[in-house]
Amino acid sequence: MSAPREAALVGLGMTRMSLTPGASPLELACVAVGAALADARTEHAAVDGLLVGSSQGVRPDRLGVAFALQGGFGDLRLLEHVEIKGATTLAMLQRARTAVESGTARTVVCVFADAPLATGKGAGSSYAHSGGRTGTRGLERASGLLGSVPTYALLAQRWLHTTGNSPHALCTVATTQRRWAEGNPYAVARAPLAEEEYYASPLISDPLRRLDCARPVNGAVAVVVSADPGVGHPVRIAVRGAGRDHPVRRRRAGAESWFGGGRRAVDDALTEARMKRADLDTAQLYDPFSLVTLLLLEEYGLCGAERVDEFVGSGATGPGGTLPTNTGGGQLSGFYLQGMTPLAEAVVQLREEGGARQVPGAGTALVSGMGGRADHHAAMVLERAA
């Protein structure tokens, strides 16, 4: 009887993260995939699976399954475009893992590329009209709620009111993420950030300030997943457990469904990995807004019985803390490429390639993806393979 096949992350490729218009998603994806294959010590001809993710919204340059031809791949056994908003990256990785471990594919590339910054357009304009113009989203748009910032501001107000957490925790998250970003050469915001600078930043939608919000970037990240011992970076990152949770939000009068949900995804991932929260050396959480870091730390049970504002205020998530979180600066200060941001940083940490931001002895990591308004959760436990 043959030994079971174990999928591992064996290649990582990233482009420069740009705050100015430039290359298309296709061009960026080609660069990231080429870098990931080189990192995995393999080439296009060895790949028989391709999973593609792209930002929501129908845009002419959106990456899709045509990338198989455009990106120089040959005949594939697996080809899909995956879309679950911010949970897409981990959904792709779960799909790749299943294919590799079942033998339906040997080596799978997962790629996400985006280029929302274009000449003559505001940084947020590519996202402002996401979600459609009918139903609840249409009503919101007619009322002036364009994009995610005002809707997450409403969620933040409700969350602060119901939990009693201090609004100052938003500042703590933003300044902590910046401390981590100072050691990340890919981060787009690396200058030190003091509390007074945070409070001097303009309110976008109360209580969210400009520094509470991730900045769109043009860039791409690709990873290679394989069980082939002849393919890959010398340090293999094993997928020990995975989970998903998709709470159905009603958001109607009399129904409390603004937040909550997602813990099941983390519980399932840890159960499969045969680990506990105390076994995690680092957490890489989806953080498009400072609020989301707080919400997920609490919902995922990562701060134990302690209130989350006290947990982050103690320095637990920062350098030298008990649970180093978003160690590349996350999406707030690192770069916003949806779920690829936390995944890439987890790989860097588990390979011990973090340089000035490296978490000493990091061997395990929790990675999360979150889509919509906390509507879709994906979690994965990764471990540096022996």
CATH number (domain holding residue 107): 3.40.47.10
CB 67 within 8 A of CB 26: yes
Q: Are residues 89 and 178 in the same domain?
A: no
53 within a domain of the structure (yes/no): yes
240 within a domain of the structure (yes/no): yes
Q: Are residues 60 and 78 in the same domain?
A: yes
Q: Are residues 90 and 221 in the same domain?
A: yes
Give the closest residue to 339 by CA, choosing from 212, 181, 222: 222
Q: Are residues 82 and 178 in the same domain?
A: no
| Residue 251 or 33, more confident | 33
The residue from 191, 226, 261 where one domain ends is: 226
Q: Are residues 92 and 197 in the same domain?
A: no
The pLDDT value recorded for residue 224 is: 98
- The CB density around residue 115, as the number of other CB atoms within 10 Å, is 26
CA distances from 219 to 24, 30, 115, 186 (A): 9, 11, 6, 10
Q: What is the pLDDT of residues 41-90, one digit of tens each?
A: 999 999 999 999 998 765 778 899 999 999 999 999 999 999 999 999 99
- The CB density around residue 18, as the number of other CB atoms within 10 Å, is 16
CA distances from 271 to 252, 342, 380 (A): 34, 21, 11
Q: Are residues 182 and 221 in the same domain?
A: no
What is the extent of the structural domain holding 14?
8-117+217-226
Give the closest residue to 224 by CA, choosing from 330, 100, 338, 350: 100
Q: Are residues 209 and 276 in the same domain?
A: yes
Position 2 pLDDT exceeds 60: no
1: confidence class by pLDDT, cuts 50, 70, 90 = very low
Give the closest residue to 108 by CA, choosing from 21, 171, 40, 62: 40
| Residue 181 or 59, more confident | 181
What is the three-class DSSP state of 110? strand
The tally of domains found in the chain comes to 2
165: confidence class by pLDDT, cuts 50, 70, 90 = very high
127 within a domain of the structure (yes/no): no
Any idea which of 59-63, 67-71, 256-260, 345-349 has the lowest mean pLDDT?
A: 256-260
CB 7 within 8 A of CB 225: yes
Q: Are residues 55 and 180 in the same domain?
A: no
The pLDDT value recorded for residue 201 is: 97
The residue from 198, 226, 254 where one domain ends is: 226
Position 309 pLDDT exceeds 70: yes
The pLDDT value recorded for residue 373 is: 83
The pLDDT value recorded for residue 358 is: 98
Position 135 pLDDT exceeds 70: no
20 within a domain of the structure (yes/no): yes
122 within a domain of the structure (yes/no): no
What is the three-class DSSP state of 256? coil
Amino acid symbol at 7: A
Q: Are residues 207 and 337 in the same domain?
A: yes
376 within a domain of the structure (yes/no): yes
273 within a domain of the structure (yes/no): yes
Q: Are residues 90 and 150 in the same domain?
A: no
Q: What is the pLDDT of residues 264-291, one digit of tens each?
A: 999 999 999 999 999 999 999 999 999 9
Q: Are residues 221 and 207 in the same domain?
A: no
The residue from 174, 191, 226 where one domain ends is: 226
Give first-to-last CA distance, the chain, whole Å.
23
Q: Are residues 221 and 209 in the same domain?
A: no
The pLDDT value recorded for residue 7 is: 94
**In angstroms, rounded to a whole number, what is the distance separating the alpha carbons of residues 263 and 247?**
11
CB 378 within 8 A of CB 242: yes
Within 8 A by CB and 6+ apart from 245, the residues are 261, 262, 263, 264, 265, 376, 377
276 within a domain of the structure (yes/no): yes
Q: Alpha carbon 219 to chain centroid distance?
A: 14
Position 128 pLDDT exceeds 90: no
CA distances from 32 to 17, 37, 71, 83 (A): 11, 9, 11, 19
Q: What is the pLDDT of residues 141-155, one digit of tens each?
A: 655 666 788 889 999
> What is the share, in percent, of the chain residues with pLDDT greater than 90?
79
